[in-house]
Structures are given as structure tokens and as C-alpha cells.
Amino acid sequence: MRIYKILRPEEWAELERAGETSGAPVDVADGFIHFSTAEQAAETAAKHFAGEDGLILAAFEADALGAALKWEISRGGAEFPHLYAPLRLADVIWHAPLPLVGGAHVFPGGM
């Protein structure tokens, strides 16, 4: 199963530079990396990244992240994937821009 991480430009640049990151400030504060499933990603973008342009969507294979990936109840009682380890560039399957068009983020087809 694929899971997704939305990153701000500076967060993506840091991941590319260092090869791994502890995540965005919210990830560091919560002690884990927040991910979304394909079904959850648009709501995550609207709720936590409203009006932000220049975002990057990165895809990961959930099984490849091993035991550090936990599925936990979060928004609306839904289970979300949380990674209790650094986010590694080597684990990115693909990444793509997440443009803001007409006030909404446009996700790549085929998710």
C-alpha cells in the first residue's frame, strides 16, 4: 500500500540535502512523521496546507517502512499512518509537485 507525505519546499530541500529528516515542526512536536493514505491526502492538504503553493507530494511503500510505521486513530476516528523513525529520501518511491489551482491542491492522477 502506498502512503503519502506532503512537504513544504524547504522541508523537501532539507530531505534532499541531508538524506533524512525528522519532519515538519508538527512531526517533531508529535514525535512521529505524519502520513496520509490516498483517500486521506486531499483532506490533509486542505486542513493543514490551505493556501500553500509549491508543495511536494512524496509517495512511500508502507510495508517497506517496517515496524516503525504504526496505524493510529486520528482525525475523525480514522486510522492514519505514523512513522516513528526519520523520514529517509531512500524510501521515496516518487515525488511530484502539488500545485495550488483555484484554491485547491491538484493531486497527480493514479494515486
Q: What is the pLDDT of residue 42?
A: 96
Q: For the whole model, what pTM was predicted?
A: 0.95
Q: What is the CATH number of the domain that holds 85?
A: 3.20.170.20
Task: Please check whether residue 106 lies inside any domain of the structure.
Answer: no
Residue 44 domain-assigned?
A: yes
State yes or no: pLDDT of 13 exceeds 80: yes
Q: How far is CA 67 from the centre of its chain?
A: 18
Whether 108 is covered by a domain: the verdict is: no
The DSSP symbol for 107 reads P
Residue owning grid cell 503519502: 4
**Domains contained in the chain, number:** 1
What domain range includes position 17? 2-99
What CA–CA distance (Å, rounded) separates 96 from 12? Answer: 11
Q: Is residue 111 part of a domain?
A: no
Q: What are 22-80's pLDDT values in tens digits?
A: 999 999 999 999 999 999 999 999 999 999 999 999 999 999 999 999 999 987 888 99
Contact by Cβ (8 Å): 4, 58: yes
